[in-house]
Amino acid sequence: MSFSDVCRSNSGVKLKASAEPPALTREPKSDKQESIMEMGNGCDLFNEMKNNFLSFKKHKYMENLEHFQALSKAQAPKFMVIACADSRVCPSNILGFQPGEAFMVRNVANMVPTYESGPSETNAALEFAVNSLEVENILIIGHSCCGGIRALMSMQDEVDSSSFIRSWVIVGKNAKLSTKAAASNLSFDQQCTHCEKESINCSLLNLLTYPWIEEKVKKGELSLHGGYYDFVDCTFEKWTLDYKGSVMEGKNRVVVKNQSFWC
C-alpha cells in the first residue's frame, strides 16, 4: 500500500471514480469562465479569513492591547509543543494556548529525531526554545488515526529514498519495532493505535539525546511530557517522563509519572 493510499483511506474524503479522463467528463468551459469561478471560490475563502481576522482584532487584540504590545517586544513561553501537522489536531484549539504561551512545532506524526540524526527544522526549533527562550516544559502531542504512523507501520524494512514522507517517518522505527513485539496479535488498526502512543515515548527518549536538554532535565529546569489526543472520542491522555526512572532503564524505555486522563 502506498502512502497516498494510506492517506486516502484515513482522510474521510470520498473519491468518485470515472472510467473516462477528467477532461472528457465535464463540459468544456472558456478560460475566462474557469478563472472567474476559481476567483469567486477563492474570494469566498479569503473573505471568511478576513472576517475571522477582523473579529480577532476587535475582540482579542484590542481588548488585550497591553498584552499584545508586550508580546511585540519579546516572548517568554513556558511550553514548547511538538504536534502533528494533521489539520484536525490544533494544540491552541484543543488545549487553549493563547498567543505567547507556547512555542509550537508541527510535523508529520509529531516526531523528534535523535541528536545524532543531524539538522532538521524540529531540532533547530528545539535549540531555540530550550537555549534561547528557556521553556520549562516540552509537550509532544500524538493523536488518533495518524496517517504518518499508519505509513510507518505499512513500510517494508527498506526505506524508499524517493519519498520524503517515508524518509521522515523512519525516525519512528523503534516505535514500530516495539509495537510489533508487544502487539503482533492485534489487528493492524490496533497496532497503529499502539504505535501512535509508543512513538510519543520514543520521541521523549530522543529528546534526552540532546546534551543541553538532558542537562536541564537532570537539574529540574525542564520537564518532558507526552500527550495523546483521541479526536474520535474527544479524550486526552497526559503523562510526564520520569527522568531518574528512565535512566535506570538505560534510557531504552520511558518510565512515566503524573499520568492523567481527561474526558
Binding site listing for Zn(2+): 84, 86, 143, 146
Indicate the DSSP class of residue 14. Answer: P
Q: What distance in Å separates the CA atoms of residue 218 and residue 247, rounded to the nearest whole number?
A: 10
Nearest to 200 by CA among 127, 135, 112: 112
DSSP code, position 160: -
Helix axis angle for 3-11 and 147-154, nearest 10°, is: 140
Count of CB atoms situated within 10 Å of the CB of 254: 21
Task: Provide the annotated binding site.
Answer: 84, 86, 143, 146
What is the dihedral sign for C-alpha 216, 91, 122, 153? positive
